[in-house]
Amino acid sequence: MEVIIIPFIACLCVAILGKRTNTWLSALFSSLPLFFVYQYFEHLDSSGRWIALFDHAWISDNIRFTLAFDGLTGLMLILTNILVPIIVLAGIRNDENQCKLTALTLFMQAALNGVFMAQDGLMFYIFWELALIPIYFITLTMSGKFAFKITLRFFLYTFVGSLAMLASLIYLFLHTADYSFDFESLRAVELNPTQSIGVGAGILLAFLVKIPILPFHSWQADTYTEAPASGSMLLGGIMLKMGLYGILRWYFPLAPESIAFFQPWMIGLSVAGVLYGAIIALRQKDMKRLVAFSSLSHVALIAAGLFTLSAEGIEGGLLQMFVHGVNIIGLFLVIEIIEKSTGTRVLGELGGLAKNNRIFMVFFMLVALGTIAVPFTNGFPGEFLLLKSLYGYNPNLALLAGLTIIFSAVYILRMVQFSMFGEGKKAISPLSWNEILAFAILAFGIVGIGFMPQIIIDMVHKSVLIIATWISEANGILT
């Protein structure tokens, strides 16, 4: 409960204080939930079950306000509550709308924490939607004449997806014995394959849009590109993890009978998305757009891994979710600083930025290397596991998806080259302490996970095992 209330209170404070807000304090506040997350870990028992920490009757006696915790949730909470302070810190250069963005970001943090902890289906949906609202307003502060169109497209896309999920959840709810949205009750509903496919399709749609998987991605690039930095960071760093988390936490357990039906489609689409995003990213000139497509590619690989239903795929996917969050926020932070310093983020207009700011250069390089999954950076173990799981599913698909390690090297290094190397008149303005702090945390994440990925794997292992058991009970296809 604390992890929802604290950011919310912080959000209110920032909203009330307005321009007088101290960003350092806001960042401190937004990192407070980490402490509670740490405490929550003590509630875990060895079984890895999803343990309710807070439970109260809500919309009806059976539709309850239930917050639960396990390793999976823990990982997502850590991700959220580490990244949000960084996003808040990074926002300092954004003078005009800063307090507004900070307040919205904090609100978002509360909602995201809710999404990851919600054990009640309706609650999950509500937090899911709630997380959409601040990001909508954050993206709305973008400049440009297409702002409304882009945000509307984004909102409609995700909203339609969420409505489909709602419909599926209600359907399940009506079939529960006790008319409850509780996770366990929803899971206990026996569905025949047809029903399961219908329900699964609805739930999946919401997640696929959010991730996004290939045919549902067209909101993404524009939104990432045009949104203010904190918006892009929230979207790319945390929000799309909601979709992946949702697949694992809600789709797999609730409609396991349909997995066999969707698996080939999902993996096919994901692999197509991996290549599609990578190939498009090869030629982008706008750095944010490039990162948007690279994210499309990377995240599709995670989705593919999850759908292989193998331990490597799922746990590697979870690892990569965390990693991708760190990396993409790093990339967006870098781009933001470049844009704020030079006034542009178009590759052709940049160059030679490496020469005057060493810390920036080192960090940029580090993030770039993490993104292209060089060993001993965080990108490697996850990508290795994902490709391996995909190989176990189908070697040819793994080969296709593996092309991403070539393409990602091409486009990321191209971005590094055209912005940092060569001769150029523009220069990066000196970094402020908050940026250096943000860099330091992210850099620690990149290298630390690169060396010790097992920490994250251990965190989620038991929870994944339980979900895997459910899937195999329904299908018997898990290896």
Partner 1 sequence: MIAFFITFFGAVVLLFIGLNKRESSFSIFASGILFLSAFLCVATKFGWCNFGILESWVPTNMMQFGSEQLLFMGLLSFLTGFIILCFRESDIIGNDQLALMMFSLCGAYMMVSYQHIVVLFLGIEVLSIPLYVLAGSNKENIYSNEAALKYFLMGAFSTGIFLLGSAFIYGGTGYLELELMGIKPSFMHALEGMPIPVLINAGIILMSVGLLFKVSAAPFHFWAPDVYQGSPNRTTVFMATVVKISAFIALYRLMSTFGGIKSNWSGWISVLAIITILWGNLAAMIQQNVKRTLAYSSIAHAGYVLIFILIADGTNAWILWFYGLAYGIASILVFTISHQLYNTNKDDTFEAFNGLAKSSPIVALALVIGVLSLAGIPISAGFVGKFYLFSFAWQSYPILVCTGLLGSALGVAYYFKFIKHAFLKVGEKSPVIKDRGILIFLVLIILMAGVFPWILLRTFF
Partner 2 sequence: MLEWIIVLPLLGFLINGVFGSIIPKPIAGWLGTAFVFGSFVVTCFLFSDLLSALPAKGAVYLKVFTFLNVGNFHVDIAFQFDRLSAIMALIITGIGTLIHAYSISYMSDDDSLYKFFSFLNLFIFSMLVLVLGSNFVMMFFGWEGVGLCSYLLIGFWFKNVSFGKAARKAFVMNRIGDLGLLMGLFLIYQNFGSFEYTEVFAKFGRLEVGTGICTAIALLLFIGAMGKSAQIPLYTWLPDAMAGPTPVSALIHAATMVTAGIYLVVRCEAIYALAPFAREVILWIGLATSLMAALIGLKQNDIKKVLAYSTVSQLGFMFIALGCGAYTAALFHVITHAFFKALLFLGAGSVIHGMHHEQDIRQMGGLRKKMPITYATFLIGTLAITGFPMLSGFFSKDEIFTAILAQNTGVFVLGLLSASITVFYTFRMFFVTFHGNYRNQHHSYEKIAESPLLMTLPLLILAVLSLIGGAVNFPNYMGEGISKGLYHLLSFDGGGSFSPILILPEQSFEISHVKEWILFALTPLFLFIFLVARKKYVVKAAVPEADADQVGFGKTLANKFYVDEAYNRSFVEPIELVSDTLTEYVDEKAFKSSFDGIGRINQYVASLLSRFQNGNIEYYLVYMVIGLCLLLAFNLF
For 90, 101, 145, 303, 331, the CA distances from 98, given in Å and listed in that order, are: 10, 5, 21, 34, 20
For partner 2, the binding residues in 151-170 under the rule CB under 8 A are 153, 156-157
Among 25, 32, 163, 260, binds partner 1 (CB under 8 A): 163
Q: Are 326 and 370 in contact (CB under 8 A)?
A: yes
SS percent in the chain: helix, strand, coil, step 5: 80, 5, 20
**Cα four-point dihedral sign 460, 63, 212, 88:** negative
Question: Which residue in this structure is represented by tokens 């971005």?
Answer: 415
Q: Does 9 bind partner 1 (CB under 8 A)?
A: no
Among 133, 374, 400, 431, binds partner 1 (CB under 8 A): 133
Tell me, by CB under 8 A, how many residues bind partner 1.
32
Residue placing its CB nearer to partner 1 in the complex, 156 or 455:
156
**Binding partner of 147, given partner 1, partner 2, none, CB within 5-8 angstroms per partner class:** partner 1
Among 392, 436, 437, 462, binds partner 2 (CB under 8 A): 392
Q: Does 188 bind partner 1 (CB under 8 A)?
A: no
Among 159, 421, 466, 470, binds partner 2 (CB under 8 A): 421
Cis peptide before 212 (omega within 30 of 0): yes
Q: State both tokens at 235.
A: 């979207």
Residue 471 to residue 474: CA distance in whole angstroms: 5
Among 1, 51, 92, 130, binds partner 1 (CB under 8 A): 130
Q: Does 12 bind partner 1 (CB under 8 A)?
A: no
Q: Are 362 and 428 in contact (CB under 8 A)?
A: no
For 74, 90, 173, 215, 219, the CA distances from 56, given in Å and listed in that order, are: 21, 37, 18, 39, 37
Residue 111 to residue 117: CA distance in whole angstroms: 10
Residue 15 to residue 77: CA distance in whole angstroms: 24
Among 28, 160, 188, 437, binds partner 1 (CB under 8 A): 160
**Binding partner of 332, given partner 2, partner 1, none, CB within 5-8 angstroms per partner class:** none
Q: One symbol per residue from 54 to 73: x for binding partner 1 (CB under 8 A), - otherwise; what is it?
A: ---xxxxx-x----------
Can you spell out the DSSP letters for 404-448?
HHHHHHHHHHHHHHHHHSS--S--PPPPPHHHHHHHHHHHHHHHH
Q: Does 406 bind partner 2 (CB under 8 A)?
A: yes
Q: State both tokens at 213.
A: 């998987």
Least separation in angstroms between residue 147's CB and partner 1 is 6
Q: Does 352 bind partner 2 (CB under 8 A)?
A: yes
Q: Does 413 bind partner 2 (CB under 8 A)?
A: yes
What's the CA dihedral at 53, 56, 60, 62 to 10 degrees?
40
**Binding partner of 279, given partner 1, partner 2, none, CB within 5-8 angstroms per partner class:** partner 2
Amino acid letter, 216:
F
What does the binding site for partner 1 look like in residue numbers (CB under 8 A)? 57-61, 63, 122, 125-127, 129-130, 132-133, 137, 140-141, 147-148, 152, 155-156, 159-160, 163-164, 166-167, 170-171, 173-174
What does the binding site for partner 2 look like in residue numbers (CB under 8 A)? 153, 156-157, 215, 217-219, 221-222, 276, 279-280, 282-284, 310-312, 315-316, 352, 354-355, 358, 369, 374-376, 380-381, 384-385, 387-388, 391-392, 395, 398-399, 402-403, 405-406, 409-410, 413-414, 417, 420-423, 452-454, 457, 461
